[in-house]
Amino acid sequence: MKILIIGLIVLLGSGFSGADEPLSFKPLFNGKNLDGWVDVNTGPDTWSVKDGMIVCQGLPIGVMRSDRQYENFILEIEWMHLEAGGNSGVFVWSEGEVNSANRLPNGMEVQMLELEYPVIHNRVKEYVSGELFGAGTVTAIPDHPRGKRSSSPEYRCKGKGEWNKYTVVCVDGTVKLSINGKFVNGIRNSSVKKGYLCLESEGAQVRFRNIRIMELPEGMAKGSEIVPVVD
């Protein structure tokens, strides 16, 4: 992680990407509507915008994706659960279509669990909010293994009704996650390295805001490491 962060500091300090364009954050949500996002397999009432937030009702289970793919980038996103034990997440390097029975795509999931989820579901020894894992057919090597998942060793998320901030650094198959101002988790050698971003609807009301992305110079993703483009 230290080498990755030092490399990013040098890169950001230069102020320029490989294409000689200034590196900067760009909004993925304009606070007014869902321009730039595409419903994949949820319903017409699942997603809406209110008071500068994306409002997700949680049902049906499914995702909404970005209208284009991303490879190397830094994603910032704030989220808040409204229900005890709520479950959601953001997928990176995700497929743009869903064909699985559980209604969720193949991709790298950055999980967003409300603090009471492990207690309500009797999984206190298993789940910590901020897990990273390859969903579906995606594989990777966890920094803090819990099976194929990487489980954050520290509780840093806030409970229902409070905002959390994730900073997600995705570079050449490696994902590093900062929760509320501290890097606490990572996963590497992802079998997919370029794809869509997806917001997850998974049974509970959740809110998103201040979503922005800094695209970094492209890497070496090729072939099966890039998900199919969806028209």
pLDDT at 228 over 60: yes
β-strand pairing of 182-188 with 47-50: unpaired
The span from the CA of 88 to the CA of 222, in Å, is 29
- Convert the pLDDT of each residue in 128-176 to its tens digit: 779 999 999 999 999 999 999 999 998 899 999 999 999 999 999 999 9
Q: How confident is the model at residue 96 (pLDDT cuts 50, 70, 90)?
A: very high
Q: For residues 173 and 224, give the distance between their C-alpha atoms in angstroms, rounded to a whole number.
A: 13
Task: Say yes or no to pLDDT of 16 above 70.
Answer: no
Q: Which residues pair with 196 in a beta bridge?
A: 94
Domain ranges of the chain: 26-218
Distance, CA of 222 to chain centre: 21
The CATH number given to 26-218 is 2.60.120.560
Stated pTM of the model:
0.91
> Is the pLDDT confidence value at 71 over 70?
yes
**CA-to-CA distance for 192 and 231, rounded, in angstroms?**
20
**Strand duo 47-50 + 174-179: pairing:** unpaired
| Residue 9 pLDDT greater than 50, yes or no | no
Give the torsion through C-alpha atoms of 127, 156, 168, 176, to 10 deg: -70
State how far the Cα of 117 lies from the Cα of 189, in Å rounded to an integer.
29
Q: Could you tell me the pLDDT band of residue 204, with boundaries at 50, 70 and 90?
A: very high
d(CA 135, CA 220): 22
Chain mean pLDDT for the chain: 92
Report the Cα 99 to chain-centroid distance in Å. 20
Q: How many CB atoms lie within 10 A of CB 33?
A: 11
In the predicted model, what is the mean pLDDT of residues 86-97? 97
- Note the pLDDT of residue 231: 84
What pLDDT score was predicted for residue 181?
A: 98
